[in-house]
Amino acid sequence: MRILITSIIDLENSAHSRLHNFVDYLSSQNHDVTVISIYDPWKEKQKSGTADAFDHISQKVRIFKLTRKKISPIFQEIFSFAYLRILEDKLELSSYDVHLNYSSLALGYAVSKKIERYSTPTIYDIADNLPEMAGSSPLLDVFLRPLAKTVARFFLSKNIALSSRITVPSASLGKLLGLPALKTEVLHNGVDFSKFKERNKTRSSKLKICYLGVLREWVALDKVILSIKGIDKSVELHIIGKEGDYQKYRELVVKNYLQKSVFFHGVVPYSMVPDALSKMDVGILPFLNSPITNIAFPLKVLEYTAAGLAIVSSPLTEVVDTYGDNIIYATSQEEWHNAFVLLLSNHTKYIKRIVNLKKSLYRFDWSNISNKLEKLMLSVVSEQKRR
């Protein structure tokens, strides 16, 4: 198949994502893949963590960006029709079998409208609660965020109407957005289990706790940092990631004299993440309760699982439904503290639970999930040809 992908994220500069895995898989199956996306220079700081993955992908696919100028991604989306007119001849829009709109709003709509004349079907992969994401964007002044949320809802509805199929990472997201059940399918987030090592069997003298991911506004690491006071001589907190509130958390650590127990590693190449996690004992998922996080099933919880770590998480609906009592849940600072105290004496018990559960979670391997997407693409192409 010739596949055109429109993307709300910049593959080159963004943290390792669902789309990186989709593109890697589809191109490895000898499909001809072209990606058009915004240019997001604000995420250059994440580039060191994705350079290896992007270099691998860029050798197999064609990648176009709306611009190379430092213009807000939001304005790039808004004026995507104008940018497309410039790129239209290079993109050869009449030549594709299927279009995958990866969580894009105006850009995805612009491309879907243009290829509609060629009867090219669109699959809309909605990876997040897009209206809420737009309405809380740190790139916008606070007074503009309600308008952004309204505009996002408008384009979301337009894209839904233009799509032959819709895919979401969780059933909760589909219900929240009111997506039409007959053309919506769940394609979960996943992990490449083969890339992750079993953790070091023997625990060091200290319990090594790890947070992996961006430090955006929906992450509540302040509660976690403060929760280790009183047990800081028995634990280490390792933070792998940057962006967002990175500096705020560093200052919080200094203010509470926790520099000997909390370590900031910044962004690390994704190829090194499995090795980094193999040295840890506990993986954490401290998310705030919000319309963005409530329906989330983050990649990192599966990465912790693949690495064989005990897990402490905020009680997100999809995580609770998948993991049940095999992990520990915490919301308040006191609950995080109690969870770590419990793991100091019961770590092996929760490791065994994860190891046993892991056997039933291979359905979340990226190869299985990406294969489902490929089959869905072949199906909509076949349906279109029969019309």
The pLDDT value recorded for residue 214 is: 86
Does residue 32 share a domain with residue 151?
A: yes
Mean pLDDT, the chain, rounded, equals 90
Q: Does residue 112 share a domain with residue 238?
A: no
Q: Measured between alpha carbons, how far apart are the two ends of the chain, in Å?
A: 18
Out of 50-59, 72-81, 83-92, which region has the weakest mean confidence (pLDDT)? 50-59
pLDDT band for position 199 (cuts 50, 70, 90): low
306 in the same domain as 234: yes
Considering the domain architecture, whether residues 154 and 219 belong to the same structural domain is answered as: no
Q: Which of 165, 251, 151, 261 is nearest to 209 (CA)?
A: 261
Same domain, 32 and 108: yes
pLDDT value of residue 48:
47
- Per-residue pLDDT tens for 285-294? 999 988 888 8
Q: 212 Cβ partners below 8 Å, 6+ apart?
A: 240, 241, 273, 276, 277, 283, 300, 303, 304
Specify the range with the lowest mean pLDDT, choosing from 21-35, 65-79, 105-119. Answer: 65-79
Based on the fold, state whether residues 321 and 243 are members of the same structural domain: yes
Domain identity same for 325 and 305: yes
Q: Are residues 28 and 174 in the same domain?
A: yes
Summarised one tens digit per residue, pLDDT across range 51-60 is 555 566 777 8
Looking at the fold, whether 155 and 8 belong to one and the same domain comes out as yes
Same domain, 172 and 198: no
Residue 303's domain comprises 193-362
- Token readout for 242 is 């940057």
State percent of the chain over pLDDT 90: 64
A 10 A CB-CB count for 140 gives: 17
Which of 314, 296, 301 has the alpha carbon at shortest distance from 358? Answer: 301
Q: Which CATH number fits the domain that encloses residue 263?
A: 3.40.50.2000
CA atoms of 387 and 384, how far apart (whole Å)? 5
Helices (H), 241-332: 246-255, 273-278, 299-306, 317-323
Residue 202: per-residue pLDDT: 64
Q: Give residue-wise pLDDT tens across range 296-343.
A: 888 999 999 999 999 999 999 999 999 999 999 999 999 999 999 999
Mean predicted confidence (pLDDT) in 72-77: 84
- Provide the number of structural domains found in the chain: 2
Q: What 3-state class would DSSP assign to 102? A: strand
Q: Are residues 252 and 325 in the same domain?
A: yes
Name the burial class of residue 119, with classes exposed (0-12), middle (13-18) and buried (19+) by CB atoms within 10 angstroms of its CB: exposed
Place of tokens 């995580």: 319
What phi, psi does 20 have (nearest 5°)? -55, -40
Are residues 213 and 106 both part of a single domain? no
